[in-house]
Amino acid sequence: MKFTETIFAYGHRNIQATHKTTFEVTKEKEVSRKGDCIIAVSANKALADLASEFKKKLQRDNAKLTILIEAGDVVDAITASGNSKLILTHPTDMVVRKSGYICNRTLAIRADKAACDLSRKLVERLRNPEQKVRITLKLII
């Protein structure tokens, strides 16, 4: 069985993508330059909007997640882990973390990349408010 979620969002002129341990996608339309983990805004989904079957599979200690971030022809991939303690209820945000920290904003933990590790070519695209961003979450079961 295939467990995939697709989120559409947009870039923003204040995207910094310099945070060393996390990256975030948000439904919020505006972001200040202080939000250095945010990589996309105006998302059509947050954690609360993900399908319940997808969430159940992600809430397994052995769940592996591949995250593809596409902006035009530029793509970056991140791998991370699910966990039985994930809450997955936040109404506006989803945060991917390199650490094992979990709160209601956490999508996945133990990621191999944070905002600062993303392709700088991708980040340049993410700074364009007109840039549509496709984020694909693929569970490896």
Tell me: pLDDT of 20 over 70: yes
Tell me: pLDDT of 67 over 80: yes
What pLDDT is attached to residue 1?
54
Give residue-wise pLDDT tens across range 72-125: 999 999 999 999 999 999 999 999 999 999 999 999 999 999 999 999 999 999
Residue 140 pLDDT grade (very low, low, confident, very high; cuts 50, 70, 90): confident
Please tell me the CATH superfamily of domain 3-140, with its number. mth639 domain like (2.60.120.630)
Give the helix/strand (H/E) hosting 24. Answer: strand 22-26
Using alpha carbons only, how large is the chain's radius of gyration in Å?
14
What pLDDT is attached to residue 2?
61
What pLDDT is attached to residue 73?
96
Beta bridge partners of 17: none
Q: What distance lies between CA 8 and its chain's CA centroid?
A: 11
| Confidence (pTM) | 0.97
Q: What whole-number distance in Å separates Cα of residue 9 and Cα of residue 7?
A: 7
Residue 21 pLDDT grade (very low, low, confident, very high; cuts 50, 70, 90): very high
Domain chopping of the chain, boundaries: 3-140
Residue 141 pLDDT grade (very low, low, confident, very high; cuts 50, 70, 90): confident
